[in-house]
Structure 1
Amino acid sequence: MNMSRSFKSFFIFIPTLVVGICVAVLCDVFSAQEFVSTKRMVVVRALAGEYPLAPVSVTLSGVKIVSDLIPTLRDVSTGAFIPTQLLSRDEKLQLVWIERKLGRGQTKRYELIFVKPKALKGAGLAEAKRVDGAVEFFINGELITAYRYGDAPKPYFYPLIGPTGKPVTRHFPMKKDVAGERTDHPHHRSMWFTFGDVNGIDFWAEGARCGRIEHRSYEAIESGVVFARVVAKCDWVGSDGKQLLEDTRELIVYCVEGVRLMDFNITLKAKDEDVRFGDTKEGMFGLRVACSMQVDGGSGRIVNSRGDENANAWGKRAEWCDYYGRVDGDVVGIAIFDHPQNFRHPTYWHVRTYGLFAANPFGVRSFTGSGDGSYMLRKGSSITFQYRIFIHKGSPKEADVASAYLAYAEPPHVSFE
């Protein structure tokens, strides 16, 4: 599912709906007084391959909202009700759910119905909770990550907890004196988005002459049975105090078991002048993996979708890249997926054997030794980047990372019948 193709009217919410409203129904039968059928069928088709786990959505165009009732889906073949959640986007209302174990060529049919909230029974819960200087994300009460700002020159996500319950990114510099951790590159803050040459200003590093990305406001904080979500506005400000860019950034954390599944989407807009992204390796959407996962001095390995491994993956283009190794004895991996709609897809990877792991479409000459990867964003124009983070147990082959990427790049086809 492409959860963020445009941010232009992305945050317009329907006034009669509660933001983040969700639906979770696991019972088999409702009485006639507890639900209303729309007589409309939603069809899901696995056209491109197999989908072990795939977030999907359908736009509720032409569907009349029933007063005091909430839309959800009922599986025609089994009668089971599907946990769903509403999302307002691009002035449209979407119904979102997660398909599991959808085989190649398989078709599923659902009846769109409306139910009373009091009739619903609970499934899992994804929560986004606002605290001082952060929004914390929980799945069934377990902390997964947090969007943080104010204590550093840029917002970042820390910690990042994997499916074994252990952190998969480095603690430093948020926590110092952690046994066994390297303390190089203090600007590598767990998971972040920034760039090293924006009109000649370095937003990647940190220091008096560097730029700052300042959190301005929250546009949405949502919880539900399918996902938790935060949307924030940020300003890119140079050392002279002049604003170059504004961004709208979104993190969606899906309510799934056995893996961690997140979507990070960001739209950058040039404010008062043209903005040039220079050709540098220092960018853009990045992670610093846990030290035990590093290739250098750790148990780690790097592999991308084109088969490049370890140091040979640096500067190469690929649809996805995976960094995996042991954390407290268990093998875990982090895969980053580059969306097909992204600029210069498949992206270049600034991935290092010492633990840095970043997607960067602008560093063409820096990576290849030729060409010019710089890009001019004209005044008032915007550019959007979309990434999925898939944190798994085992190796990329054992976790079937290729199928997980397919679910992102070519999700199941969803339509009304």
Structure 2
Amino acid sequence: MIIRFKRLGFVIAMVSLSPVVFAQKAQQVTVLKSANENKVDVAIGGRPFTSFLYPDTLEKPVLYPLHAANGTVVTRSFPLQSRAGDPTDHPHHIGLWFNFESLNGLDFWNNSYAIPANKKKLYGWVRTDRILETKSGDTGVLIYHANWTDQQKNIILEETTRYEFSGNENQRVIDRFTTLKADKDAFFKDAKDGMLGLRLAHELQMPTTEDQNFTDDKGNVTVVKGGTDKVANGNYITSAGKTGNDAWSSRGIWCKVFGKMGADSVSIAIIDHPKNPNYPTFWHARGYGLFAANPLGEKIFTNGKSEKMLTLKKGESVTFRYQIVINNGSKTISVAQLNTLAGSFAKK
């Protein structure tokens, strides 16, 4: 099946999309663009939350690292920093990002410093060229513009993304709204690796002592080493009730990863939106720490029973909407609370 989109205005609604807050006071958000680096820092309640990084040395912009409200870093440190015990597989997994494995034959997802120069032509780049707005307040706002290009910087898509950041004593929320406009005909081929990706801290991985091999569409094999340090203690649950490794390739309105980090229970949930293509999304949620929502990987997730392609003619646009919710405390966010959040987010 091919998904087609009518010509849409290249506009993202500039409305406040504050999350449901469960009986806690919202904390002030500060969004500050660096004067001398390609970086925007976000703090909530006076504590660092994340940074939007878009240097020329990265093949895509990322939010990195992500902190829970108690200051715990919930994303893997590698490859931008070093932390004892961090896995060093998949160097393209950095913080929180958005791209795709197969657009006009180019692989945007797997591009990283590890790709040999003579193979870079097979990979695409997301190049941020300007910050459109930053705003602090009860809800922090960051809007940027980027181009999805080939190695020669020929533009395939223009991206405009609006981030909204909010939080309270035990919660951090990111609302992401990304509009992609085709500068030329753009074809997203059904593929496994996409679209909203998050690489988890070691503690939130599912425990395993066995090595695992993963092969991309070009035949490159990545080995993910098993561990015996007993640090990993994570697990997944979806809105459809799938848990653990069964979350992978399943569909759901939301998916939550959870585990102990220090003395606290920590969880990260990704919530899909009913206006997204192919809702509810498939979950590309791996036990080794990749947590992704991919609505355009249906062929592999259904063992070839069906597939979804997305085609944009020149001038056409599509918008993707996601909410990321990070909680810490004596227990993780409940199914009922996530359903409430999902219902609220669906109305935005």
Q: Deviations over 1:329-369 (max 9, x none)?
A: 32100000001111111011111011100011111101111
Counterpart in the other structure of 1:243: 155
Conserved 8 A contact 2:276-2:320:
yes
- For structure 2, which runs of at least 5 residues remain unmatched after alignment? 1-7, 209-231
Matches of 2:238 and 2:346, distance apart in 1: 15
Residue 331 of structure 1 is matched in structure 2 by 265
Which residue of the partner structure matches residue 317 of structure 2?
382
Query: Quick one: which of 325, 329, 342 aligns to 1:405?
Result: 342
- Structure (1/2) with the larger strand percentage: 1
Selected match of 1:127 from 16, 30, 40: 30
Aligned-residue offset at 1:402: 2.3
- Give the CA deviation at 1:10: 4.2
Return the offset for 1:101.
Answer: 5.5
Aligned residues: CA RMSD: 2.1
Higher relative contact order (CA 8 A, sep 6+): 2
Partner of 1:146: 51
Q: Per-residue displacement from partner, 1:204-259 (whole Å, max 9, x unpaired)?
A: 012323111101111111111x2111100000111243211110011110143320
Task: Select 1:195's aligned residue among 100, 107, 116.
Answer: 100
What is the distance in 2 between the residues matched to 1:378 and 1:161?
39
Partner Cα distance (1:289, 1:145) in 2: 14
CA distance in 1: counterparts of 2:21 and 2:88, whole angstroms:
41
Q: CA deviation at 1:407?
A: 2.3
Distance 1:320 1:95 in 2: 21
1:336 counterpart SS class: strand
Larger radius of gyration: 1
Runs of 4+ in structure 1 over 6 Å off:
95-99
The CA deviation at 1:194 is: 0.6
Given that 2:27 and 2:169 are in contact with CA atoms closer than 8 Å, whether structure 1 keeps it comes out as no
Call closer, same or farther: CA 1:327–1:376 in 2, change over 3 Å: same
Alignment CA distance shift 1:279-1:9 (3 Å):
closer
Q: In the alignment, is the contact (CA less than 8 A) between 1:7 and 1:267 conserved in 2?
A: no
Q: Which residue of 2 aligns with 1:229?
A: 141
Taking a change above 3 Å as real, the CA distance of residues 299 and 100 of structure 1, as seen in their structure-2 partners, is closer
User: How much has 1:165 moved relative to structure 2?
Assistant: 1.2
Change in Cα spacing, 1:124 to 1:304, as seen in structure 2 (3 Å) is: closer
Q: Where does the alignment leave 5 or more consecutive residues of structure 1 unmatched?
A: 1-5, 12-88, 103-122, 412-417
2:189 and 2:16 map into 1 onto residues whose CA distance is 40
TM-score between the two structures when normalised by the length of structure 1: 0.69
Provide closer, same or farther for how the CA distance between residues 10 and 401 of structure 1 changes in structure 2, counting only shifts above 3 A: closer
Give the distance between the partners of 2:61 and 2:89, measured in 1 at CA.
19
Distance 1:303 1:229 in 2: 30
Amino acid at match of 1:305: S
1:162 aligns with 2:68: yes
The question of whether the paired residues in 2 share the 8 Å contact of 1:318 and 1:349 is answered with: yes
Whether the aligned pair in 2 keeps the contact of 1:392 and 1:399 (CA below 8 Å) is no
Match of 1:265 among 153, 177, 184: 177
Q: Does 1:368 align with 2:322?
A: no
Q: Report the Cα distance in structure 1 between the residues aligned to 2:291 and 2:27, rounded to whole angstroms.
A: 31
> How far, CA to CA, are the matches of 2:12 and 2:333 in structure 1?
33
Aligned to 2:5: none
Aligned to 1:307: 241
Structure 2 contact 85–202 (Cα < 8 Å) conserved: yes
1:67 is matched with which residue? Answer: none
Identical pairs, percent:
34
Shift of 1:373: 1.5
Amino acid at match of 1:367: F
Structure 2 residue 183 is matched with structure 1 residue 280? no
User: Aligned partners of 2:176, 2:21: CA distance in 1, in Å?
Assistant: 21
C-alpha deviation, 1:374, in angstroms: 1.5
User: Separation in 2 of the partners of 1:398 and 1:365?
Assistant: 29
Q: Are the counterparts in 2 of residues 156 and 191 from structure 1 also a CA contact under 8 Å?
A: yes
Inter-partner Cα distance in structure 2 for 1:156 and 1:317? 25
The residue type paired with residue 290 of structure 1 is A
Structure 2 CA distance for partners of 1:410 and 1:95, relative to 1, 3 Å: closer
Deviations 1:10-53 (A, max 9, x none): 48xxxxxxxxxxxxxxxxxxxxxxxxxxxxxxxxxxxxxxxxxx
Q: Secondary structure at the match of 1:286?
A: strand
> Secondary structure of 2:339's match?
helix
